[in-house]
Amino acid sequence: MNWMRTILDGFAMAAYFNLFAAAVALYNPRLMFPSYPPAIIRSAPEPPSKAENRFYWLWIFFGELLPLLLYGAVSMVEGGTLAMGSKCG
């Protein structure tokens, strides 16, 4: 296992996740409502709409999880990691 590659991949994935979340929060903080504690959501003058909640889950999947999964898979393949159960040689 290449520890340096693993650590750098972790930093890259964390940077992507945090920068993407910050960009969305700066664009429209209300889009982050589902990730806030329930007390903050209840005390808001206007609760999040169904469209805002739907957009939140879409960006979590397509903007965060899917790109990170693809990055990890490509990095694993490029790093020469074999799938479990594969035979070497």
User: Quick one: pLDDT at residue 31?
Assistant: 79
Better pLDDT: 34 or 12: 12
pLDDT digits (tens, 9 = 90+) for 33-68: 788 888 888 888 888 888 888 888 888 888 888 988
Confidence band of 15 (pLDDT split at 50, 70, 90): very high
User: Quick one: pLDDT at residue 85?
Assistant: 55
| Residues in Cβ contact with 63 at an 8 Å cutoff, skipping those fewer than 6 apart | 20, 24
Cα–Cα distance for residue pair 19/26, rounded to 1 Å? 10
pLDDT > 60? residue 87? no
Q: CA–CA distance from 47 to each of 32, 41, 73 (Å)?
A: 12, 7, 38
